[in-house]
Structure 1
C-alpha cells in the first residue's frame, strides 16, 4: 500500500533518489499515461506552437472551486518568489549563460496570465488561455478540457522546476511523471501548502534522529528514535505532527527528522536483468547463464556477446570483448574462466574491492582537483570582471568633476591614515596630477 516501494529495488532506489516512492509512482504513471498516436501528435504540435525551451519553471495555479474548500488562495507573487529563487541559483551556477527567464503557467483561471505578465514583465510566460477557460467549473468535463489537462500535466513534467500546491492532483501527477526523465528529481518541486502525499496512503511517518525540547507552547518534545506522524509542513522550518506513542502533538523542527521509507514485497520480474534492465537470454555463441553473482561482483553477458563485470555499486569494472567467440564457464573470486570456440580455456581477472576503491579515490582526487581549479578560475574571472567594471565606472565618474574630486580627496586621506608615515609618495594618473596637488593640504590637515 502507498507509500511503499518494491523490496528488490529498495536498496538502490533509497541510495539514488531523495523520495523513492515518488520515483516508483512516476514510472507507473508514465506507463498508465502513455499517449496514443493522436495525443502524441497533439502534444508535438503544441510543443512546436509554444516554442517550448529550457531552462523553464512550471507553476500550477489552482483557483475556482478549490479555493475556500480544499485549499487557500495564493497570489501569483507567492509562486514567483520560488521562481525567482530558482533563476538566481541557476545564474550563479551558469555565470556565462545569458538566461531568458521562462515560466510555463497551468491554471483554471485565465486572469492569472494577465496578472503574471503585468507584475513580472522581465519573464517570458508560456501557457494557453483557452485551456484555462476549458478548465473552469462549467466546462471542465468535456473532451477539450481533458486534452487541456493532459497537455498541462505533460508540459509541467517537462519543466526544470515546479511550483504548485500539492493539495492539487494535477500538481502531484506532474511531479511524479517528472521523475522518469531525471536521476533524482525529488528536489525539483516546491509546494505552497501540503507535503507530497498519495490519496489513501498509510500514515506518513518520520523518524527523529535528533532529540527536541519544546521551546514554545505550540511545540512538543521528543527523543531521538521517536516515530513522528507528519501531518503537514509549514514551510518555515517547522512541520506539524504527533508522537502517538507518547500522546503528544504540535509543531517540531523539520530538520530533526528523516523520512521512513516503507518497503513491501511486490511482484518480482525475474526475467528482467537487474543490472542492464534487459530481458535475460543467452546471446548467440554463449552457453552460460546471462546473469551471475560472484561474491561482491555481478557478471553478465550482453547481446553483442561481450562479458561485463560490475561491482556492488553497479559500476563497470571489467569488459571482456568476445564478439560471440567465447563464453563464461565459471566465476571464482576475482577470476573468470572463459571458454573459446576452439575449446581453449582462458583465465581472465578483474579488479578486487581494494583495487576498485583505490581507483575510485584516484578518480575522486582528480575530480576534486579539477573542481578546485574550476572554482579558482571562476573566482579569478569574477575578480577580473569586477576590476574591468570598476575601471569603466571610474572612467564615467571622471566626467563629473565635483564627485570625482570628493572621491579623490577621501581616497588620499584614507591612504595617509593607513600608512601613518611622515613622508609619502602618491602615484596618480597624469590627468589627475594638478588635482591631487590641490587636495594634499586638506588630506594632511585631516590626518593632523
Structure 2
C-alpha cells in the first residue's frame, strides 16, 4: 500500500476533497478484510465472490473466467495500477492501459519485475538519485547515470551493469526509472478510421 499512499498524497495536492478508493483484485478473499482493518481511511472495491471462485476447485469455470476478465478490465481503467508484473493479470491490465495513456509507465508501479517481453531489447535505467554501495555485490552510481538491466529480482533490487564504469552488481530499483525508448511507427493513412 505504500505506493498507493504515495500516489494519493501527490494526487491530493493537485485535487481537493478526494476519496481514496482502491480496487482490489485477488484470489485471496481475506485480503479485503486485512485492507479494511489496516487502512480505515480508504474505500476498497472488490468482488469477493470472484476471489472465492478464483481460489479453489471452481477456478477453471466460466464464472471464474468472466471474473478474471472483469478484474483485468477494471484494473486497466484505474488511475494508478500497483501490482506484480509476474502476474499475467497484472501484465494484461498494464498492456490495456497503453492505448489510454500512450505510455502508461507513469501510471503504474510493479512490486517485482519490470515490464518485458521474452524477445525484448535490453532494459536501461537512469538513476534518480545517488547511491553508495553498502555491501559487497552492490554498485554505486550518481543521479543521471545509466544502468543496463541484467535480471530482475524479487527483493527490491535489480542486477545490472553501470554503463559508464562497466561494473556489475545489485542496485535498489526505487532509486532508478526505466528509460522508455520510443520508435517511429507508421501511421497507415490508407487504413480507414474505424472510430
Q: Using structure 1 for the length normalisation, give the TM-score.
A: 0.36
1:201 — aligned with what? Answer: 119
Over 3 Å counting, the alpha-carbon distance change for 1:111 and 1:146 in structure 2 is: same
Measure the CA separation in 2 of the matches of 1:108 and 1:147.
14
How far is 1:243 from its partner? 7.1
State which of 133, 156, 167 in structure 1 corresponds to 2:52: 133
**1:250 alignment partner, SS class:** strand
1:84 aligns with 2:5: yes
Looking at CA atoms only, which structure, 1 or 2, has the larger radius of gyration? Answer: 1
How far is 1:239 from its partner? 3.1
1:265-285 deviation digits (Å, cap 9, x = unpaired)? x8873514xxxx849xxxxxx
Over 3 Å counting, the alpha-carbon distance change for 1:137 and 1:196 in structure 2 is: farther
**1:122 alignment partner, SS class:** coil
Higher helix share: 1
Measure the CA separation in 1 of the matches of 2:125 and 2:41.
43
**Equivalences for 1:218-367 in 2 at 5 Å?**
218-220=137-139, 228-232=148-152, 239-242=158-161, 249-252=168-171, 259=179, 261=181, 269=188, 271-272=190-191, 278=193
Gaps of 5+ in 1: 1-79, 280-448
**2:106 alignment partner, SS class:** coil
1:357-408 deviation digits (Å, cap 9, x = unpaired)? xxxxxxxxxxxxxxxxxxxxxxxxxxxxxxxxxxxxxxxxxxxxxxxxxxxx
**1:194 alignment partner, SS class:** coil
Over 3 Å counting, the alpha-carbon distance change for 1:190 and 1:253 in structure 2 is: closer
1:420 — aligned with what? Answer: none
How far is 1:184 from its partner? 3.8
How far is 1:147 from its partner? 0.1
Over 3 Å counting, the alpha-carbon distance change for 1:131 and 1:239 in structure 2 is: same
1:188 — aligned with what? Answer: 107
How far is 1:167 from its partner? 0.8
Measure the CA separation in 2 of the matches of 1:121 and 1:204.
42
Measure the CA separation in 2 of the matches of 1:147 and 1:166.
21
Gaps of 5+ in 2: none
State which of 23, 33, 38 in structure 2 corresponds to 1:104: 23
**1:107 alignment partner, SS class:** coil
Asked if the contact 1:207–1:259 (Cα under 8 Å) also holds between the matched residues in 2, the reply is yes
Measure the CA separation in 2 of the matches of 1:258 and 1:195.
8
How far is 1:249 from its partner? 3.2
How far is 1:149 from its partner? 0.4
Measure the CA separation in 2 of the matches of 1:256 and 1:118.
32
State which of 124, 147, 151 in structure 1 corresponds to 2:66: 147
Asked if the contact 1:206–1:230 (Cα under 8 Å) also holds between the matched residues in 2, the reply is no
Over 3 Å counting, the alpha-carbon distance change for 1:257 and 1:187 in structure 2 is: closer
How far is 1:261 from its partner? 3.2
How far is 1:241 from its partner? 1.9
Q: Using structure 2 for the length normalisation, give the TM-score.
A: 0.76
1:33-56 deviation digits (Å, cap 9, x = unpaired)? xxxxxxxxxxxxxxxxxxxxxxxx
Measure the CA separation in 1 of the matches of 2:63 and 2:161.
44
1:380 — aligned with what? Answer: none
1:179 aligns with 2:98: yes
Measure the CA separation in 1 of the matches of 2:89 and 2:147.
30
